[in-house]
């Protein structure tokens, strides 16, 4: 069964931890992150709403081209994200990244997240050459979006088994394939946040 509610047992701990860390995060990243810059026209044009994405899906299908879809929060882009997206893009002719909205991220990760809001995250992801489209969804899971788009290939990171990948049933029923790509150890947004907090604490003590 797909894991709509995976890790429920750890969410309370995660939310408590995020609440405790949020004041450090706000102060730290306000100083360490540059102000967001306007993206290029080409990059920003990749950001679509669901209806526009469905139209693009139909166009690609009419041209015999395959669409790969992956989803996630992608808060604070790191090398693990980049490697993962590059591999996902190699599985088809175009890659769409479905981003959890800010409210969706808070449900999954707890207060204090996301660090970057959905507009900033969409802009950063859209600037990657390997990404063809970006769409933001507001639900806790992307099942509804996946049912409407029906990509040829649905991809998640290796910390998700095939049976846990949300949307697998819908994609496979439509003749598509589902892949679980290797998880990149040591690359996570949470680790980056904790690293910044440690640095900030050291500075405050000095």
Taking domain 8-33+41-205, whether its CATH number is 3.40.50.720 is answered by: no
Of 145, 179, 176, which Cα lies nearest the Cα of 162?
A: 179
Specify the 3-state DSSP secondary structure of 133: strand
Of 202, 205, 200, 203, which Cα lies nearest the Cα of 24?
A: 200
For residue range 99-122, what is the model confidence (pLDDT) as tens digits?
Answer: 999 999 999 988 888 989 999 999
pLDDT over 80 (residue 77)? yes
Predicted confidence band at 80 (pLDDT cuts at 50, 70, 90)?
confident
Q: What residue ranges do the domains of the chain occupy?
A: 8-33+41-205
CA angle, residues 128, 84, 189, in degrees to nearest 5: 85
pTM score: 0.76
């Amino acid at each position: 069964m797909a894991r709509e509610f995976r890790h429920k047992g750890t969410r309370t701990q995660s939310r408590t931890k995020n609440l405790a860390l949020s004041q450090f995060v706000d102060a730290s990243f306000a100083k360490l992150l540059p102000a967001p810059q306007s993206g290029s026209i080409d990059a920003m044009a990749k950001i679509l709403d669901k209806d526009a994405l469905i139209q693009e899906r139909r166009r690609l299908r009419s041209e015999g081209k395959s669409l790969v879809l992956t989803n996630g929060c992608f808060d604070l882009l790191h090398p693990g994200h980049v490697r993962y997206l590059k591999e996902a893009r190699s599985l088809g002719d175009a890659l769409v990244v479905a981003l959890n909205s800010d409210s969706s991220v808070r449900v999954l990760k707890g207060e204090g997240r996301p660090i970057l809001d959905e507009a900033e995250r969409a802009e950063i992801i859209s600037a990657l050459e390997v990404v063809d489209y970006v769409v933001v969804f507001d639900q806790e899971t992307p099942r509804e979006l996946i049912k409407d788009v029906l990509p040829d290939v649905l991809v998640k990171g290796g910390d998700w088994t095939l049976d846990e990948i949300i949307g697998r049933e819908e994609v496979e029923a439509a003749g598509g394939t589902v892949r679980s790509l290797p998880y990149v150890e040591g690359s996570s947004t949470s680790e980056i946040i904790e690293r910044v907090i440690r640095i900030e604490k050291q500075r405050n003590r000095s």
